[in-house]
């Protein structure tokens, strides 16, 4: 009995030893335990990965960005742009060119007078046919010195000014109305065109019958001639105002009269003044035409009188006075135009 118990105990001890040996073998042949993994992670993660991130991470991106930033970016107005190379307008150059043109006109006028004088003296043309400039100058100086021309010049200037004021006022008012209201333009256009189609010289005798032989018929003829250019320029200026600006006034709630007074009339001022320049020159023609028909005073009447007396030098002197008068009035309108249009020129330069 005792021998059997001792054998069983020996068998149990051998079995336990075999189990422990099997566990040891499995532990040695199995996957790495938790102690091995941290060591591998420690060798890879905390030291190696930051170094790799340092070589590829955001530390290298700023350097690439700085190198890219050093390259010039395309600019709309780079120094190579032709628009940026444009220099501001040289006003002194314009003044120099204008002065050169003025001196050139004077030189040309002197050359023409010299050729005229030499041609008359060499050809021996009669003074009755073509007087020399020296003879015309002598007649002009004699008439101005004696005061013979003064009342005639004053009468013609009076007729021109009154006719220009009357015709200009009518042309401006009717032109604004025709430009603003289309129905009025369709109503009055045939009559306006008909009034200009009829020769004014043919209407002059009627005006003499209606208004007498004083200053009134000459003023009416002058106004009728000066009326049309200002009317047409006003209608065109009112019609062709910038539509975007008109839309802006409409959006802002401006009335029709406010739009007309504050937008259309100021915007159309350059065109209206251009019509005034034309009207001034035509007003001289209207006054002379009126004096041709029935007048005892004025440069036109003096011209007819010199023709009847066959005084050709006096005729040339009167023509010279009319020319100077027309050019002087034209230059006066140009001066007014430059003063009034300074804001427009400043805006255009900007």
pLDDT at position 124 is 82
- Report the phi/psi class of residue 124: left, alpha or beta, with left for phi > 0 and alpha for psi in -120 to 50: left
| pLDDT-above-90 percentage for the chain | 25
pLDDT at position 27 is 42
Burial of 263 (0-12, 13-18, 19+ CB in 10 A): middle
CB 160, CB 222: distance < 8 Å: yes
What's the chain's average pLDDT? 76
Burial of 220 (0-12, 13-18, 19+ CB in 10 A): buried
Residue 74: pLDDT over 50: no
CA dist., res. 125 & res. 246, Å (int): 64
pLDDT at position 128 is 84
Domain ranges for the chain:
154-342
**Which of 280, 281, 300 minimizes the C-alpha distance to 290?**
300
CA dist., res. 45 & res. 38, Å (int): 10
Taking residues 240-252, what's their average pLDDT?
88
**Which of 279, 33, 20, 290 minimizes the C-alpha distance to 170?**
279
CA 123 remoteness from chain centre: 52
Residue 129: pLDDT over 60: yes
Length of the chain: 350
CB 200, CB 221: distance < 8 Å: yes
CA dist., res. 160 & res. 223, Å (int): 8
Question: Three-state DSSP class for 308?
Answer: helix
CA dist., res. 36 & res. 330, Å (int): 110
Q: What proportions of the chain, in percent to the nearest 5, are helix, strand and coil?
A: 80, 0, 20
CB 157, CB 325: distance < 8 Å: yes
CA dist., res. 333 & res. 329, Å (int): 6
157-172 pLDDT, tens digit per residue, is: 999 999 999 999 999 9
* Structure-block tokens of residue 140: 């002009």
CA dist., res. 281 & res. 71, Å (int): 65
Q: Give Cα separations from 153 to 89, 215, 291, 304, 322 (angstroms).
A: 43, 14, 12, 15, 9
Q: Per mean pLDDT, which range of 176-180, 198-202, 223-227, 309-313 is the poorest?
A: 198-202
Q: Give Cα separations from 101 to 8, 11, 114, 129 (angstroms).
A: 143, 139, 20, 33
What count of Cα atoms within 13 Å lies in the side-chain half-sphere of residue 310? 4
CA dist., res. 299 & res. 322, Å (int): 7
DSSP code, position 78:
-
Q: Tell me which of 17 and 222 has the higher pLDDT.
A: 222
Q: Quickly tell me which residue has 């004096």 as its tokens.
A: 291
CA dist., res. 292 & res. 318, Å (int): 13
* Structure-block tokens of residue 226: 């000066």
* Structure-block tokens of residue 328: 């002087």
190-244 pLDDT, tens digit per residue, is: 898 888 888 887 888 888 888 888 888 899 999 999 999 999 999 998 888 888 9
Write down the CATH superfamily of domain 154-342: MetI-like (1.10.3720.10)
* Structure-block tokens of residue 310: 């066959």
CA dist., res. 176 & res. 154, Å (int): 32
pTM: 0.67
């Amino acid at each position: 009995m005792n021998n059997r118990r001792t054998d069983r105990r020996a068998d149990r001890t051998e079995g336990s030893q075999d189990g422990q040996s099997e566990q040891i073998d499995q532990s040695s042949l199995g996957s790495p335990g938790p102690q091995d993994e941290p060591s591998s992670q420690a060798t890879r993660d905390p030291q190696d990965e930051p170094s790799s991130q340092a070589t590829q991470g955001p530390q290298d991106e700023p350097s690439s960005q700085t190198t890219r930033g050093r390259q010039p970016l395309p600019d709309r107005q780079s120094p190579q742009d032709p628009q940026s190379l444009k220099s501001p307008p040289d006003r002194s150059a314009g003044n120099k060119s204008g002065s050169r043109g003025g001196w050139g006109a004077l030189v040309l006028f002197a050359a023409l007078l010299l050729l005229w004088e030499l041609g008359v003296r060499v050809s021996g043309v009669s003074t009755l046919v073509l007087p020399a400039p020296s003879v015309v100058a002598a007649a002009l100086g004699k008439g101005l010195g004696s005061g013979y021309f003064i009342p005639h010049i004053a009468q013609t200037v009076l007729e021109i000014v009154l006719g220009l004021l009357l015709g200009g006022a009518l042309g401006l008012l009717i032109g604004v109305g025709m430009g603003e209201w289309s129905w009025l333009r369709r109503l009055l256009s045939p009559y306006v065109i008909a009034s200009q189609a009829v020769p004014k010289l043919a209407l002059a005798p009627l005006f003499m019958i209606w208004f007498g032989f004083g200053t009134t018929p000459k003023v009416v003829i002058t106004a009728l001639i000066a009326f049309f250019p200002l009317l047409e320029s006003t209608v065109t200026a009112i019609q062709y105002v910038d539509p975007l600006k008109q839309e802006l006034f409409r959006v802002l709630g401006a009335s029709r009269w406010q739009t007309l007074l504050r937008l259309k009339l100021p915007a159309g001022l350059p065109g209206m003044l251009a019509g005034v320049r034309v009207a001034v020159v035509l007003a001289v023609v209207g006054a002379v035409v009126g004096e041709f028909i029935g007048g005892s005073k004025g440069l036109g009447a003096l011209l007819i009188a010199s023709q009847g007396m066959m005084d050709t030098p006096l005729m040339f002197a009167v023509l010279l006075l009319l020319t100077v008068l027309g050019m002087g009035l034209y230059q006066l309108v140009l001066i007014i135009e430059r003063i009034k249009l300074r804001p427009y020129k400043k805006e255009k330069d900007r």
